[in-house]
Amino acid sequence: MANLKELKNRITSVTSTQKITKAMKMVAAAKLRHAEEAANAARPYAERMESMMVSLAAGLEGREGPRLLQGSGSDQKHLLIVATGERGLCGGFNSSIAKAGAKKADELIAAGKDVKILCVGKKGNDALKRKYGHLIIDLVDLSGSKRIGFGDAQPIAQRALSMFDNEEFDVCTLFYATFVSVLTQEVTEQQLIPASIPESSEETENDIDYDYEPEEEEILADLLPRNVSVQVYRALLENSASEQGARMSAMDNATRNAGDMIDKLTLQYNRERQAAITSELIEIISGAEAV
């Protein structure tokens, strides 16, 4: 009977866990809708900002551009911004981003580069501090933000820009997860500083040739710092949607696994109970026959 009691207690415990995971899945699904809408709304602006920089950079025609575009002339010192979530229970979302940042850090260290890490999110900091604690310069905690806003991205961007102006690094790389679907979140590595300008496409080259006033250098000098903030904001929104999608998927799997475990435990409980009843009946019949 002690075994039956243990099984019953375990069934009760797993059932309670299943209720929690099911509730967490529903909460994540509700948050995902808003996070996905915000991420989708930010993409066109960020992409248009990028195309504008491509056009302006093409118009320089060999002239020296702003330092944020040209860089410091060296790539010895690197800053890695690793953006993860503040909470767990979301599958491999946090660990995959942290692993990408750790892999980049290992490659740079092996090449003799100086590396600094700025963690955005507690989970990334927890994963990296064991091995790279001496490289982490700060942790940006966004747990107090109910919804990600541009105000959350600006301090991170300003910190990076200030460090670049003070020549604390030469190259800044941002790591985050791009939201594709509930089941798919792609870890993204994006160079923030100096600005990574993609090659002009044929469509861009065949577009109208604009005359800018003021000159391209002045516009880029004003646009590039804003672009850093925009790209960080976009990364935070993509991360938010990816985190909720990953949590929704993880909690759905956990709910189904809990259901399977309850079925197995219930079957085992019924077998044990039937065996106990049969054993008692045999004892009663044997006793009656003996009398």
Kindly name the residue from 38, 42, 90, 195 that is annotated as catalytic: 90
Dig out the tokens for 252 from the structure.
């759905």
CA dist list (Å): 243 to 24, 108, 142, 157, 182: 13, 28, 14, 21, 9
Instruction: Give catalytic status of residue 90 as yes or no.
Output: yes
Residues serving a catalytic function are 90
